[in-house]
Amino acid sequence: MSAIQPLDSIIIGSIILVLALSPLARGAVDVTSICIIVIFTITSFLLFLIRLTLKENQEIKLSGLELPLLSLFLLGTISSFFSIYPAQSRRELGFFFCCLLFFFIVQNLFSDRKRIYLLSLTIIITGITLSILGLFCYAIFMGTPSWEPSLSSTYVNRNHFAGYLELCLPLSLGMVEYITDKGKKVLLIYGIILMVISLLLSLSRGGWIGGSLSLFFMAFLAKKRGLLSRRIWIVSVVGFILFLTSVLGLNSIAERISTFENIFKDPVNFDTRVKVWKGTLEIIQKNPFSGTGIGTFAYAFPSHRPLGVTQRYLYAHNDFLHFTSEMGIFFLPLFLWLLFSGLRIGTNTFFKTKSRLKRGVSLGCSMGILALSIHSIFDFNLHIPANLLLFFTFLGMIGAIRK
């Protein structure tokens, strides 16, 4: 037993370190960051295997999410045999496997109250830290030549920063019910307000849509569970409207919202993107079952690029179409299977458990993966390593607290 405790500390520390630092390192989009994530994950998994051999009667925790995840990995493996760029497919498949290991470790080592609380707190603090950094830079550079109206914090792209906040916000709101200390609760609510402001200032329309819908469903489920009275519901809605009204006085946000009514007339935001989607559909039609190989969209798209699209597109700006073009038409039903399984397990836990911590975490994680999935219809958040890793972490947390 004495040998297991240090192993647990090392593994848990590694997981928390990766989750805290990957979004701070520009979303971990560079090769160095990805290599570090892979090294830490594989090392943690090997230590976990050693832990299994040392502890007698150690059971491996299964949640039911393993089958759709392994099916997706198998589909990616099959597509790599037909890849137009095998080396790139192997690299992409390797990181996918790394995310599976991450999910497995989280599901098996973060099932007790202290660990799930520590992991949740790490994610929330990271989201608040990113928001503070973003707001600080936004205020410092406002009015200078280097200032941009949108807020992206440490991320390269504001949409992907918004994607990370979409994951953090529901979990943060879920933890409000669990934390009873008034001082900590005030700090948490203050952090949530900072994240909401940062999400608004990101000017990410996909982020606004995904975040708003997930929070609406979260409030609906909380009211159905009896956690929100009608009075609190009305006060929350009125307060949110008043908050939005005050924030919308900022020209950048008001102008961005006004583009919703002109979205179909804006050639940059709609017409070009639709052309890219049409080109992606051509790739799917040409390779319906095998795809072009996981990770090869950037190499397959140029030969299917429609007239009027002059830029080189590395992503389809729709993760569902993107992955389908690479892995074949079976990707969509398998991913939806994974998504609905995660939502079903998470919401069932929310309605059945008596633990306030499990209730808040299960609902927060479920609504987080829902928000990112909705946003991924318009963007490529599932291609950002830090966001994808947190997506798999949420699935692992849902599986960990299932029983």
Question: By CB neighbour count within 10 A (0-12 exposed, 13-18 middle, 19+ buried), where does 140 fall?
Answer: exposed
Return d(Cα 355, Cα 279) in angstroms, integer: 49
Q: Domain segments of the chain: what residues?
A: 4-262+318-400
State percent of the chain over pLDDT 90: 73
Residue 264 confidence class, pLDDT cut points 50, 70, 90: very low
Residue 53 confidence class, pLDDT cut points 50, 70, 90: confident
State percent of the chain over pLDDT 70: 89
Nearest to residue 14, comparing CAs of 80, 110, 86?
110
Return d(Cα 185, Cα 348) in angstroms, integer: 26
Q: What confidence score (pLDDT) does residue 227 get?
A: 80
Return d(Cα 15, Cα 44) in angstroms, integer: 8
Return d(Cα 150, Cα 158) in angstroms, integer: 7
DSSP letter string, 209-244: HHHHHHHHHHHHHHHHTTSS-HHHHHHHHHHHHHHH
Q: With contact defined as beta carbons under 8 Å apart, do 282 and 304 qualify?
A: yes
Residue 59 confidence class, pLDDT cut points 50, 70, 90: confident
Q: What confidence score (pLDDT) does residue 259 get?
A: 54
Residue 265 confidence class, pLDDT cut points 50, 70, 90: very low
Q: With contact defined as beta carbons under 8 Å apart, do 43 and 14 qualify?
A: yes
Provide mean pLDDT across the span 368-380.
95
220 or 320, greater pLDDT = 320
Nearest to residue 336, comparing CAs of 295, 284, 377?
377
Indicate if the pLDDT at residue 263 is higher than 50.
Answer: no
Q: With contact defined as beta carbons under 8 Å apart, do 202 and 150 qualify?
A: yes
Q: What confidence score (pLDDT) does residue 372 get?
A: 97
Indicate if the pLDDT at residue 48 is higher than 50.
Answer: yes
Enter the pTM of the model.
0.92
Provide mean pLDDT across the span 323-346.
97
Q: Give the angle 15-21-27 at the CA atoms, nearest 5°.
A: 115
Per-residue pLDDT reduced to its tens digit, 183-237: 999 999 999 999 999 999 999 989 999 998 898 899 889 988 888 766 555 555 6
Structure tokens at 170: 């529901």
Provide mean pLDDT across the span 338-361.
95
Q: What confidence score (pLDDT) does residue 312 get?
A: 87
Indicate if the pLDDT at residue 266 is higher than 70.
Answer: no
Q: What confidence score (pLDDT) does residue 184 get?
A: 93
Q: What confidence score (pLDDT) does residue 232 get?
A: 58
Average per-residue pLDDT in the chain?
89
Question: By CB neighbour count within 10 A (0-12 exposed, 13-18 middle, 19+ buried), where does 61 fall?
Answer: middle
Q: With contact defined as beta carbons under 8 Å apart, do 370 and 343 qualify?
A: yes
402 or 173, greater pLDDT = 173
Q: What is the CA radius of gyration of the chain?
A: 21
Q: What confidence score (pLDDT) does residue 241 get?
A: 57
